[in-house]
Structure 1
Amino acid sequence: MATTSRSYGGIPIEQRRARRRAALLDAALEIIGTSGFAKLTVTGLCTQAKLSERYYYESFSDLDTVFSELFDRIVDEIGRAVVTAFMAPAPDIRAKTRAAIAAAIDLIADDPRKARIATVEAQLHPALLTRRAEVMRSFANIMMAVCAEEIGADIVETAGTQAEFAATHLLGGLWETTNSWLSGTLPISRETLITNSTTQFLLTATHRTGIPLP
């Protein structure tokens, strides 16, 4: 097959670039997730990804951008897992809520690299402070949207700003509680963490909506 500026070996240039970018982010996951952002260098990143440095500069302007995009990738993965779990068939809202919380906790707990990046390194990196706040607001909006679909949009709208406050407060609490559990300062089982978090979410939802939830 002939090679053109748009294709090599039958693979379009955009797809090859996307693969190289993904390989660099995978390499960043390994380096930051095991050794911390302070150990991330362009040379080390390219060596880990088995790519020349020119491909790094093809995709990224600096290492902060690498970290920010890696953080976003992990957050997007968590968001998809949570929504998928919540929207799956379940007997009641408790089961749905529990499945969503378990999906988030399992995802980062099962990969210590993602756990370190999401709960430790992201808090230490100044460039991600604003992004973390944006992510929390985004997750709060997702949480309100799925709740609206489950219990009724009118009920969520009636709660007004209190609904957004409650969602943000609960998610922030879950984030920090999970961080404490992962670090070992909260000595409970994963099952207890998920169960207690589910109960806390439902208690708050009952209080704000006035609807008794199981």
Structure 2
Amino acid sequence: MSSPTRWAGVPLTDRRIERRNLLVGAAFTLFGEGGESAVSVRSVCRESALNTRYFYESFADTDELLGAVYDVVAADLNAEVEREILAAGGGPLKRLRTGIRAVLGFSSADPRRGRVLFTEARANPVLAARREIAQDTLRQMVLSEREQALPDVDRTATLVAAAMYTGAMAELAQQWLSGNLGGDLDKVVEHAVRLVLPTT
């Protein structure tokens, strides 16, 4: 466990930020490898080599910690998707294709990310609430891209397609991570794009 000398010379605010980051990193490892049941105050403190009192310095309980883990992974995913889409350029079709590839690629590059974002988020109410917000953000993105690509399509059809795609994206990611869709990411992405933009 940590000793007082570990933080010698480090400003108080920086100490707290560093300890919080250590706890989040430890919880990510435990949660990503063993699921929610692997995360407890004791296991997180052991993994991060911090005293229990430092846990409560940053978090009220493990649910709050898991929420922070989800937020960090989701922020990293959003940054990756935005970076890839910006680099790709092009029209709505290319951006959509790039975005789907970025989501699946980000998740499979480190399967722990996929577990945090898609698998375990179904059961825990804190994570489920965050997932709902993330899905709404995705739905808005799909609406925007589809309306740009298919401006003459009935609005209701666009809303239905966006709603169905948003719900299916999490399942798509889970099936991709489990290996049930094969290993050809390009083919998976193309089929997913056609569900949103069926005329392409």
TM-score (norm 2): 0.82
Determine if the alignment matches structure 1 residue 123 to structure 2 residue 118. Answer: no
Residue 151 of structure 1 corresponds to which residue in structure 2? 148
Instruction: Map 1:42-61 onto structure 2 (within 5 A).
Output: 42-61=41-60
Q: Does 1:181 align with 2:172?
A: no
For the residues of structure 2 that align with 1:198 and 1:85, how far apart are their CA atoms? 16
Call closer, same or farther: CA 1:124–1:96 in 2, change over 3 Å: same
The answer to whether the Cα contact below 8 Å between 1:88 and 1:96 also exists between their aligned partners in 2 is no
Aligned twin of 2:40: 41
| Aligned position for 2:3 | none
Between 1 and 2, higher relative CO (CA 8 Å, sep ≥ 6) is seen in 2
Q: Unpaired runs of 5+ in structure 2?
A: 1-6
Aligned length: 193
Is the deviation greater in 177-186 or in 27-36? 177-186
Report the CA distance shift for 1:13/1:171 in structure 2 as closer, same or farther (over 3 A): same
Maintained 8 Å contact 1:97/1:198: yes
Tell me the equivalent position of 2:187. 192
Cα deviation 1:108-158 (Å, max 9, x = unaligned) = 11101111222221112233333322221122224445x38x939xx59x9
For residues 163 and 78 of structure 2, what CA distance do their matches in structure 1 show? 15
Identity of aligned residues (%): 26
Q: CA RMSD in A?
A: 2.8
Q: In structure 2, what is the Cα distance between the partners aligned to 1:123 and 1:38?
A: 14
5+ residue gaps, structure 1, are 1-6, 207-213
Aligned twin of 1:209: none
Scaled by the length of structure 1, the TM-score of the pair is 0.77
Question: Residues 69 and 160 (structure 1 numbering): CA distance in 2 closer, same or farther, change over 3 Å?
Answer: farther
* Contact 1:136-1:168 within 8 A present in 2 as well: no
Amino acid at match of 1:182: L
CA deviation string 1:96-119 (max 9, x = no partner)? 222111111111111011112222
1:90 equivalent to 2:89? Answer yes
Distance 1:103 1:35 in 2: 25
Contact 2:114–2:173, Cα closer than 8 Å, also in 1: no
DSSP 3-state at the match of 1:104: helix
CA deviation after TM superposition for structure 1 residue 90, in Å: 2.9
Structure 1 equivalent of residue 197 of structure 2: 202
Q: Cα offset for 1:35? A: 1.1
- C-alpha separation between the residues in 2 aligned to 1:33 and 1:136? 20
* Separation (CA, whole Å) in 1 of partners of 2:100 and 2:168: 12
Counterpart-to-counterpart distance in 2, 1:90 and 1:151: 15
